[in-house]
Amino acid sequence: MTDIKLVVGLGNPGAEYAGTRHNMGFEVMDRLAGFYDTAFKRINRGKVLAAVARIGHEEVILAKPQTFMNLSGQAVLSLLKKNALSPAALLLVYDDLDLPLGRLRLMHDGSSGGHKGVDSVISAAGTAEFPRMRVGIGRPTGEAADYVLSRFFSEERERVGEVLEAAVGAVDCVLREGMTRAMNKFNRWR
């Protein structure tokens, strides 16, 4: 087991955002909940959907902030405080324009890369030193804001399913074997 006790997927709440590129973090969380046979419940006055996954004898919280993306840090900070966790115990999962669709990148820490949700978490936590997993959605030729809020094309859906399955495997590997092992295994995955 690792020191990760909280896995947060970023996305925007509401039916109009379901299935959009910007909600890959939520998609990973939904698949993880199924993988660990757990279900999300509203907590923190409805600002977070959280589930508890049992990995061996340990419990890990899976969470989906119900604030909009650029306010995700508020929900993450409340989860860290409520559970007496340091930012190092967090694994943040989110979409990334700078990775091609179908690529994963696990990192120990780093900048936000311009991702507003990650900016919010860094600002709220007071540090960028927390583990994360970037899920590639590819870069558009047009406007990035419209692109991230769009849904995947039919010809992309098979690849999306494959990367979501790999993302679940990557998170499980992080939780059971640690970041370094998961990075060696999944950062090369295509």
The amino acid that residue 26 corresponds to is: F
**According to the model, what pLDDT value does residue 56 have?**
84
Cβ neighbours of 170 (radius 10 Å): 25
User: Can you say whether the dihedral through the CA atoms of 55, 68, 15, 156 is positive or negative?
Assistant: negative
Residue from 22, 57, 108, 115 carrying the catalytic annotation: 22
Q: Tell how far CA 151 is from the center of its chain.
A: 18
* Residue 110 in tokens: 């780093």
Query: For the segment 169-182, what is each residue's pLDDT rounded down to a tens digit?
Result: 999 999 999 999 99
Does position 38 have pLDDT exceeding 80, yes or no?
A: yes
Q: Tell how far CA 135 is from the center of its chain.
A: 8
- Stretch 35-45: mean pLDDT: 93
**According to the model, what pLDDT value does residue 143 have?**
83
pLDDT band, residue 132 (cuts 50/70/90): very high
Does position 93 have pLDDT exceeding 80, yes or no?
A: yes
- Stretch 141-145: mean pLDDT: 81
22 is catalytic: yes
Does position 142 have pLDDT exceeding 90, yes or no?
A: no
Q: What is the pTM of this model?
A: 0.95
pLDDT band, residue 1 (cuts 50/70/90): low
Q: What is the mean pLDDT of the chain?
A: 93
Query: For the segment 47-87, what is each residue's pLDDT rounded down to a tens digit?
Result: 999 999 999 889 999 999 999 999 999 999 999 999 999 99
Cβ neighbours of 16 (radius 10 Å): 9
